[in-house]
Amino acid sequence: MKLRRADFPTDFMFGAATAAYQIEGHSFGGAGPTHWDTFSATPGNVVGAENGAIACDHYHRMDADLDLLSDAGMDAYRFSTSWARVLPDGRGTPNQDGLDFYDRLVDGCMARGLKPFQTLYHWEMPSALADLGGWTNPDVADWMADYAEVITRRIGDRVHSIATLNEPWCVSYLSHFLGHHAPGLRDIRATARAMHHVNKAHGRTMTRLRDMGQDTCGIVLNFEATQAASDISADRRAAATQDATHNRWFIEAIAKGHYPAEALDGLEPHLPANWQDDMAEISQPIDFLGVNYYTRGLVQAVENAPWPATAPVGGPLDKTQMGWEIYPQGLQDTLIRMAKDYVGTLPMFVTENGMAWPETDGHADDARTGFIDSHLQAMHAAIGQGVNLQGFFYWSLLDNYEWAFGYEKRFGLVHVDFDTLDRTPKSSYHALKTAIARQDPA
């Protein structure tokens, strides 16, 4: 890799990210059922109908997994706490085993000098709340704040930062409009409500965390480099619409207290009554912004189709195992855009960036090393242009449950054999370890 730790600001943090349902093994330790358990049990939704019941068995292998982070010389670990592990029915009586597990996890981070970056919601809605409409129910804001309070009482004294939600676009649009993720809806009214209620839940949870005295609270949003497939005006309009729903809806609500007009064009008739009344709480200050970035999105207009009248187009660039184009320039552009248009000098972190790549002999994954290298260069360039970027978390530490793609798509720095659950660091793990090693003072 071309860049080294010394090329970044002194306190810049290097880490890796994971999420509860994707690694822990949801059948262990008294966790309650979630909408991912039912979504994956419904034929056709997930490759091989695979689920997170065992996943990487991180629940029983936490210490070894934390060792993988510290052995790589990392500074921080981004993980999520599972709502359904903390509160199996979504509300009411907490699961003591679940609270104890996260207590050990945070202590395990501290003991290894890893700063714990917690995310409160990385997608496992408890089934009892999904039964009440999940993200389409306005009460979800209070349900989430109550859950946040329970887990924060237990670990809030030691976590370095708390992100309310991971990727609200996926929680709402991908899951309620495109139907790709749980609960698998394709319904514009449900989508508009979910897109507003995730913001409302973020705001209500921020209020609760502030009332509890927590600092370093923020949110993790996902961005793509949206581009029109051609220069014709219809395609440029299509790109503006997609940019509004994907890249602008959430950050604009949080940073400016309003929604983009190009998105309201289609969604406003379906928003809950008096949604404007929630915007003040949604747009309260945050302490950091987490940026997840993977690829660009080429888009074209579709004639005679209902809003948004857009369709994705395949591009010519090299692709990952997901079929996603590799486009590091988009990360640099996103970071600069966020600073310039929305958050100024607020601290930002790249909270996810990585690639899926198939298994190779000897776990040699030079393609992944190259991907990390090129994206670190994009971050470095953004910092050079004044962006207050304070850290980078590779997605993901381990090969894991890649949602609707099951276990086939491998994002890990560390290979997981899903028969034996053995972990083997790949060549990219070693390359990153070398790049971020601390040099002894001369």
By CB under 6 A, name the binding residues for ligand FCB.
19, 22, 166-167, 170, 222, 292, 352, 395, 402-403, 411
Helix (H) or strand (E) holding 162: strand 161-166
Helices marked H in 158-296 — which ranges? 168-169, 175-176, 188-211, 233-243, 249-256, 261-267, 279-282
Q: Smallest distance from the beta carbon of 180 to ligand FCB, in angstroms?
A: 11
In the bound state with ligand FCB, the residue whose beta carbon lies nearer, of 91 and 122, is 122
End-to-end CA distance of the chain: 22
In the bound state with ligand FCB, the residue whose beta carbon lies nearer, of 181 and 208, is 181
In the bound state with ligand FCB, the residue whose beta carbon lies nearer, of 180 and 270, is 180
Q: Smallest distance from the beta carbon of 184 to ligand FCB, in angstroms?
A: 16
β strands within 207-358, DSSP E: 217-228, 288-301, 310-312, 348-352
In the bound state with ligand FCB, the residue whose beta carbon lies nearer, of 154 and 375, is 375
Instruction: Please tell me what DSSP assigns to residue 230.
Output: S
Let me know: does 136 contact 198? Beta carbons within 8 Å: no
Q: Smallest distance from the beta carbon of 222 to ligand FCB, in angstroms?
A: 6
Residue closest to 243 by CA, chosen among 219, 230, 225 = 225
In the bound state with ligand FCB, the residue whose beta carbon lies nearer, of 170 and 339, is 170
Q: How far apart are CA 256 and CA 342, in angstroms?
A: 8
* Residue for token pair 């809605």: 125
Q: Smallest distance from the beta carbon of 290 to ligand FCB, in angstroms?
A: 10
Q: How far apart are CA 387 and CA 380, in angstroms?
A: 9
In the bound state with ligand FCB, the residue whose beta carbon lies nearer, of 18 and 95, is 18
Q: How far apart are CA 387 and CA 359, in angstroms?
A: 36
Cβ atoms within 10 Å of 169's Cβ, excluding its own? 20
Q: Smallest distance from the beta carbon of 220 to ligand FCB, in angstroms?
A: 8
Helix (H) or strand (E) holding 391: strand 389-395
Which residues lie below 8 Å from residue 142, measured CB to CB, with a gap of 6+?
204
Q: Which residues are catalytic?
A: 167, 352
Cβ atoms within 10 Å of 215's Cβ, excluding its own? 9
Any idea of the CA torsion for 331, 334, 340, 345, to the nearest 10 degrees? -60
In the bound state with ligand FCB, the residue whose beta carbon lies nearer, of 172 and 222, is 222
Q: Smallest distance from the beta carbon of 407 to ligand FCB, in angstroms?
A: 12
In the bound state with ligand FCB, the residue whose beta carbon lies nearer, of 94 and 116, is 116
Residue closest to 306 by CA, chosen among 156, 392, 214, 188 = 188
Residue closest to 411 by CA, chosen among 424, 398, 427 = 398
One DSSP character per residue, 91-121 reads SSS--HHHHHHHHHHHHHHHHTTPEEEEEEE
Mutual angle of helices 96-111 and 140-155, in 10-degree steps? 50
Q: Smallest distance from the beta carbon of 287 to ligand FCB, in angstroms?
A: 21
Which residues lie below 8 Å from residue 439, measured CB to CB, with a gap of 6+?
5, 6
In the bound state with ligand FCB, the residue whose beta carbon lies nearer, of 91 and 181, is 181
Q: Smallest distance from the beta carbon of 20 to ligand FCB, in angstroms?
A: 10
Q: Smallest distance from the beta carbon of 225 to ligand FCB, in angstroms?
A: 15
